[in-house]
Chains A and B, each alone.
Chain A
């Protein structure tokens, strides 16, 4: 909770926001001046009205000041929203750009989810921070200072009261905030247990129904919800106390200022317009601080998102995987038809070593199956060729050219990759197959579809190849997804094919279809197949076993029985 209200990294990372924030500060100063102008004009109007006269210039001044405040508040909101939009767009570009810079290995796993949430909707939580909190934060500095300065000239004793009480707001706010937080944390376990209960019950409804207990649980849900209410109320009693104290400080200060001023007026020690000015200005001094305090809570989520985004996009790729970008001009890529050699390759990750001193040669046209327990380093072999991972030591060459330092995009054009679980993108089925080659002619697309045995799938879809797939390819079964991935590989028509357990998650019927397509795909190409099921081995003419980071070649005679078909 003890988060700084402003993250200075923001200015370094998003220089475009500097100007907007500077304008916001200027507008904050302008607001303070207008507050004083408005109060002065109104005080004059009312002091004159005391005698039953209308002070027209002062009234005009008052209206002008109000119009000015309206304009400035509009500008403040607009500029703040502009800043929010600029910052969000810049951070989004940063976050997503980091994906391109660091490569897929960096993104994999938990980080992918975090990045997707942040770059998606997470950053939108910055809106309340920028449009609600930040302008008030500026005002809570400029307005009290300006108001105090003005009142010191008018009536220093009132200024003294204000100067002494204003600091109470942040101090009490912080003290009570801690107090409330401690109390909240004491209740937290209980609250989360109770709050989670409703979710738990709804999630488990099918099971409750299966045992005929669903109706009996309604009372339990009610009882637990009631417990939740009581626990919440206990917390709120303390949490609202802080609001009470802040409210009291602000309103009592008005009374503390107004009553002595009234009594001094009675004694003639003060003019009416000065007294009114002090009265009108006093609440203005407290308002921005309280408003900022009340909006801090709502902007917490935004601050958290900001912190995560700034931290994430500043993360460097781990040294072991090396820079895998194709940003700077690199050496031209070798042809995929040449010999591929691993020369003493070791790949070490943070905690484990995936490959140890691997040396092997893959001749053009070899169909190599790679087997071994999961986690042994099978996928790392493919990732090295794909350039997702760079060797910690040793080198990988193709046609005699070291792959580190070549133009990776060009090199990858020599490869077709079928991952364990292909990602399907939001878009049409055709777009998904044409990934990386959007201008493919229809005939080539149709050939790839046929090659991957996707024809029947396409025919069953309402709009055929133009059917739009839901998020992450929802609507297709795992077997169908793998065939889409195979179709991508067919379309790529590359000399080297890399298949990472393409049938790992399929049932036998889908496996058979995918296997047939796989055999067609590898015919006449160099192929590396990570295999889990023996059925895939039949398509290979060499078998490598990876265990504990070391690679050994098995002889074809030891491959066991052919799989009956």
Chain B
């Protein structure tokens, strides 16, 4: 009778008795096996806030206890009043009833504030730690939007573990113990009966609920995942299905699966809600048994009433552990992922005494091989390249030839399987991650534009840049006019993931940032992607002109236009150097470059011929 609960604006939905967690929409969850130490790893971060959490737990217990005591005291009041004692013998009870009524609400309010405050403090640490772990990784795989939002909701799982599992669970356990203790003062046999009831409600039923919830999730999750895939196929593939007359069959398959899911859910509900029904039964039976035992033990009539009503309320409190158990089951996948991040051993950064010198940035690839998957064709195969300081080189080649892998190896994002890459004689893999960008860096694939001002985004390249530096870099990238047109100028906020910018502007901003950073070895991976041909040529020219003399440039490009001014062009084919030379030389020789150049030229001229 005291299970009511107000709104909880923070956190996810509680797991229902069907016990099937509602996964965030999106692609199917990757399997995350339950990890035994996951909760402990997360809770270790709660240690600094232990006293706050303890306070919240005690307040939660006080809330539940006040509710229980309110009903028990009111019963005592009524049953004592029936014996017609003088009024002053009841005043304490009357005051107690009123005080308990007020205090329950107040306790609840403070408990929630204290609990959320402590947990949000801890979450701050979790976020910082997760970020630090990710930041310490030298190599990263790409993260999809789904994986990112899952990361955010996983962090919230740590929050739910405390707010929805541990604090209410601990409070329920504490109140149960207290209730048995108080009952023992009145009648030990009755207390024994109550203890049994509470053990069933607070231990056996939660264990049962956990098992049922797990089994249900294991059965339902694959079917829900498959149905989500069906939905994607039927909508995004609608035209393909219709054109090939396969819509009917696909619909029938999806309907059949949806029907199977519905049947499964109906079946699971029957067992899931049985736990709740048992909870109701346990409460009533405990109260009835307490009455019988207490009367047999000769307990006074008033106290029998107090015991009976108190037992009903206590079992109700203990049943909160069933909800906590369900919630906990739902959290395990997210917690396991967070724990993996929190306990990840720091990447062994090779200790190096070899600080790279400030000059002598000769880059040398010797016999570099990179293979992304065992058995797959290598992305780079025994690749050799000498790049004396100050040289400007373009790397071209068909898609999949290894251009981006070359950039990734050079910037330390990918470690070669064999061979080595040196900058100034020092292997790139031995230069500390913080120092490397001062030697090799620039505009890499998937450059990210942060939700911050234009200026803040640019200053990432060089934090001490003056306004004149900013002007030079943005002019070279062809973004200066746009910046000047903005009412807020440099302080214009570019939206989430650069959403307020067009694709071309975003690319120019990233290029300007790379030019501002101006490392001695500047890597430009498709710097003009997303720009129309005329703009691409202009931007490439001005960017190369803006690079200080003496700095090396590695330009990776699928367009062959504008490469005539470079010192050398390296044609990558199948992870090896196919051809190399200057533009004029390569155009004169038969081979991929010449063919591709003619093709691209013809493409533009052919177009002009048809498009008056």
Contact = CB atoms under 8 A, between A and B. Distances in A.
B336 interface: no
Given A89-B261, A388-B239, A417-B243, A96 B7 contact: no
Contacts of A471: 27-28, 229, 232
A215 B136 contact: yes
Interface string A393-437: 000000000000000010011010101001101100000000111
A54 interface: yes
A36 interface: no
Interface in B534-578: 558
A480 to B, nearest CB: 11
A279 B447 contact: no
A327 to B, nearest CB: 11
Interface stretch (B100-108, B207-215, B357-365): B100-108
7 contacts: A51-B301, A117-B231, A207-B460, A225-B124, A417-B243, A423-B239, A436-B245
Given A202-B131, A243-B108, A543 B277 contact: no
Contacts of A63: 284-285, 288
Interface string A75-115: 01110111011101100110011011001100110011101
B22 A128 contact: yes
A38 interface: yes
Interface residues of A, number: 178
Nearest to A235: B9
B120 interface: yes
Contact of A255 (B27, B97, B255, B291): B97
- Nearest 10 Cβ contacts at the A-B interface: A243-B6, A66-B284, A77-B273, A81-B269, A560-B609, A436-B244, A120-B228, A423-B237, A534-B606, A74-B277
B45 interface: no
Between A52, A59, A63, A258, the greatest number of chain B beta carbons within 10 A of the residue's beta carbon is seen for: A258
B435 interface: yes
B13 A203 contact: no
Interface string B386-408: 00000000000011100000000
A483 interface: no
Nearest to B573: A509
Given A107-B238, A196-B496, A242-B7, A561 B606 contact: yes
Given A472-B232, A492-B244, A108 B4 contact: no
Contacts of A534: 602-603, 606-607, 610
A237 B113 contact: yes
A131 B87 contact: no
B1 A258 contact: no
B502 to A, nearest CB: 17
Given A252-B102, A297-B7, A283 B82 contact: no
Nearest to A246: B6
A70 B280 contact: yes
A233 B116 contact: yes
A199 B304 contact: no
B235 A116 contact: yes
A62 B288 contact: yes
A290 interface: yes
B445 to A, nearest CB: 9
B464 interface: no
Contact of B236 (A59, A239, A423): A423
Nearest to B142: A206
Interface in A5-57: 38, 42, 45-47, 49-54
Nearest to A437: B244
B291 A74 contact: no
A177 B87 CA distance: 42
Interface string B98-136: 101110111011001100110011011101100110111
A127 B77 contact: no
B251 interface: yes
A56 to B, nearest CB: 9
B197 interface: no
Contacts of A204: 448-450
B7 A212 contact: no
A314 B27 CA distance: 26
A380 interface: no
Nearest to A221: B131
A508 to B, nearest CB: 6
Nearest to A264: B81
Contacts of B274: 74
A45 to B, nearest CB: 6
A128 B441 contact: no
Contacts of A290: 4-6
A52 B224 contact: no
A236 B112 contact: yes
Contacts of B148: 199, 202-203
Nearest to A212: B437
A536 B97 CA distance: 88
B54 interface: no
Contacts of A417: 240, 243-244
Contacts of B28: 471
B500 interface: no
A240 interface: yes
Contacts of A198: 127, 131, 152, 155
B97 A248 contact: no
Contacts of B295: 49, 52-54
A545 interface: yes
Contacts of B77: 258-259, 262
B49 to A, nearest CB: 12
B33 interface: no
A374 interface: no
B520 interface: no
Given A63-B284, A250-B4, A272-B82, A210 B265 contact: no
A128 B278 CA distance: 21
Contacts of A251: 67, 70, 100-102, 104-105
Contact of B90 (A59, A262, A409, A533): A262
A344 to B, nearest CB: 25
Given A116-B232, A225-B123, A561-B609, A209 B135 contact: yes
Given A108-B239, A236-B112, A262 B309 contact: no
A322 B117 CA distance: 58
Contacts of B298: 52
Interface stretch (B421-429, B465-473, B478-486, B593-601): B593-601
A24 B345 CA distance: 54
Interface in B13-27: 13-14, 16-18, 20, 22-27
